[in-house]
Amino acid sequence: MEKHNGLLIVLSGPSGAGKGTICHELRRKLPDVQYSVSATTRYPRPGEVDGLDYFFRTREEFQTMIEKNELLEWAEFCENYYGTPLFAVEQALQSGTDVILEIEIQGALQIKERFPHGVFIFVIPPSMSVLSERIHKRGTESEEVIRKRLETATRELEYVTEYDYVIVNDELEKAVDKLKCILVAEKCRVKRKSYDFQGV
Ligand code: 5GP
């Protein structure tokens, strides 16, 4: 049986589906899970803090991270780069800590290649009109960017079959509960356990 490592949990789905809010809530409820901080070339939104929400980097700096193999995965999304720094994730998993990545689909598929034992969860909005409403309400993107994000979201929904679980985010509390249940179930999977029956 394989050694007891932390779980690698990949939460993805269209931008605006509520992945961030779900993660934020889960963080309050499960403080022992580590949340991977991504690198990005997009500008910080009001209130976002470098090193906490993202590592905000120039395109050149991001390129260097790619060349030095410092990213576990990376993708271009709506004209910006996003990527997961490898070091922190590897360290946490090896020390038995569960890690959550909140990333878009191209990145999630790269991770699936490298970590087939990861837990892949797709978060979807109850409808496209709710998605549009949420992105507009956030008020942080221009109409042009919103249009691109909605177009991308429509394409992204087709990838749901690549995932292990789907969570429809119609109500935050319920969505977070479902995520917690998935994590509990995954921890109980026989293939993830190593047993020592000596002395039983
Ligand atoms: P936002 O600009 O709204 O913060 O993020 C845009 C999209 O990029 C979201 O779907 C978010 O989940 C995704 N994203 C954030 N960090 C990463 C990352 O490290 N890698 C990839 N592939 N996507 C990411």
pLDDT one digit per residue (tens) for the chain, 200 residues: 345 589 999 999 988 888 999 999 998 999 999 999 999 999 999 999 999 999 999 999 999 999 999 999 999 998 999 999 999 999 999 999 999 999 999 999 999 999 999 999 999 999 889 888 888 888 888 899 889 889 988 898 999 999 999 999 999 999 999 999 999 999 999 888 766 666 55
What is the pLDDT at residue 135? 85
**At 177, which CATH number?**
3.40.50.300
Within-domain flag for 179: yes
**93: which DSSP letter?**
H
Number of structural domains found in the chain: 1
Within-domain flag for 196: no
For ligand 1, atom 24, the nearest C-alpha belongs to 103
Evaluated on CA atoms 59, 17, 163, 148, the torsion sign reads: negative
What is the pLDDT at residue 198? 64
CB-ligand 1 contact for 19 (6 Å cutoff): yes
Within-domain flag for 93: yes
Look at the chain and count its residues: 200
Return the bridge partners of 121, or none: 11, 165
Rounded Cα distance between 117 and 69, Å, is: 22
Within-domain flag for 200: no
Rounded Cα distance between 98 and 141, Å, is: 32
Q: Pick the atom of ligand 1 nearest to 42's CA.
A: 2
Within-domain flag for 40: yes
For ligand 1, atom 5, the nearest C-alpha belongs to 15
Q: Ligand 1 test: best mutation among 62, 77, 148, 159, most atoms within 8 Å of CB?
A: 77
**158: which DSSP letter?**
G
What is the pLDDT at residue 2? 44
| Structural tokens at position 175 | 């969505």
For ligand 1, atom 3, the nearest C-alpha belongs to 15
Within-domain flag for 197: no
What is the pLDDT at residue 3? 52
CB-ligand 1 contact for 38 (6 Å cutoff): yes
Q: Ligand 1 test: best mutation among 45, 73, 103, 136, most atoms within 8 Å of CB?
A: 103
Find, among 163, 183, 185, 42, the residue nearest to 100 by Cα: 183
Q: Tokens 């890690």 belong to which residue? A: 99
Q: Pick the atom of ligand 1 nearest to 13's CA.
A: 10
Within-domain flag for 180: yes
Within-domain flag for 199: no
Rounded Cα distance between 158 and 154, Å, is: 8
Rounded Cα distance between 195 and 75, Å, is: 39
Note down the domain range covering 97: 2-188
What is the pLDDT at residue 1? 38
Is this structure's pTM higher than 0.95?
no
What is the pLDDT at residue 200? 52
